[in-house]
Amino acid sequence: MPLFTAYKPLGVSPLYLIEELKKKDVWKKEKIAYAGRLDPMAEGLVLLVYGKDLSSFHEHLKYDKEYEGSILFGLSTDSYDLLGIPQKRQVEESIKEKLKSIKGEFVFPFPPYSSYRVKGKPLFKWSREGKIGEIEIPLKEAHIYSIELGDVYYRSALELKEEILWKIEKVKGDFRQEEIKEKWKEILVCGDFPLIDFKIKCSSGCYMRSVAHHAGGVLFHLKRTSIDF
């Protein structure tokens, strides 16, 4: 079957999976592509396409997906996940209600640090060049079929800092890691911060980072658990 899933670990891009396959003799001459990105700070299933199915590659971008993860509140970043410059953010009183309200049609702006192209240039390049304010970030529509939420719980700043720095250390490539780590060290000095765990089933193209940002927080952990193909 010319479609299969592989598990992407934390810290790498989906291209890593293809590079690993290409090291094996049986795959060296195969053309392989991944259908649907998964950010470096996320882990989980990636759909790989090869052989005759490459001719209908774009059809394989449309499958529904399921995720589980957690959102950290009281903070935000310019990437909407941990791989961004953090700053303090007001914690809203109705965390669960805000998340529950997005079930159904969900319209959101693409994250400023994403590969979506505007005027031929990825949004992350506009952001890195300090020119993101010069363009209008497009809106994206997706459908959230179901959302399950755990109870709100708290973790200390020092505990969070240790885990966040550990995660950033795992990221391969140039993503401003040194600058980002220094900012996390500066901001996570004391106090406790609320988090909530979630499970979401949604249509293709729904950014969990945007879900977290819309809810008033930052995406702390994400795992793609299912792709309906």
Mind listing the pLDDT tens digit for each residue in 2-57? 789 999 999 999 999 999 999 998 898 889 999 999 999 999 999 999 988 888 88
Q: Pairing state of beta strands 139-149 and 104-109?
A: antiparallel
Tell me how far the alpha carbon of residue 4 is from its chain's centroid. 21
**Position 195, amino acid:** L
Range 128-139 burial, b when 16+ CB lie within 10 A, else e = eeeebeeeebee
C-alpha angle 47-78-35 in degrees, rounded to nearest 5:
10
Residue burial 185-215, b: 16+ Cβ < 10 Å; e: rest: eeebeeeebebbbbebbbbbbbbbbbbbbbb
Residue 1 pLDDT level (bands cut at 50, 70, 90):
low
User: Does residue 107 have a pLDDT over 80?
Assistant: yes
Residue position matching structure tokens 């669960």: 96
> Does CATH place domain 65-227 in 3.30.2350.10?
yes
pTM: 0.94
Quote the pLDDT of residue 129.
94
Amino acid, single-letter form, for residue 172: K
Q: In sequence order, what are the residues at sequence separation of 6 or more whose Cβ sits closer than 8 angstroms to the Cβ of residue 140?
A: 107, 108, 109, 110, 205, 207, 210
- If we measure between CA atoms, which residue out of 102, 79, 99, 103 comes closest to residue 164? 79
3-state secondary structure of 32: strand
Percent of the chain with pLDDT over 70: 100
- Tens digits of per-residue pLDDT, 137-156? 999 999 999 999 999 999 99
Half-sphere exposure of 145 (CA within 13 A, CB side): 9
**Residue-level pLDDT at 93:** 82
Note whether 84 and 132 are within 8 A (CB): no
Domain boundaries along the sequence of the chain: 3-61, 65-227
Answer whether 218's CB lies under 8 Å from 180's CB. Answer: no
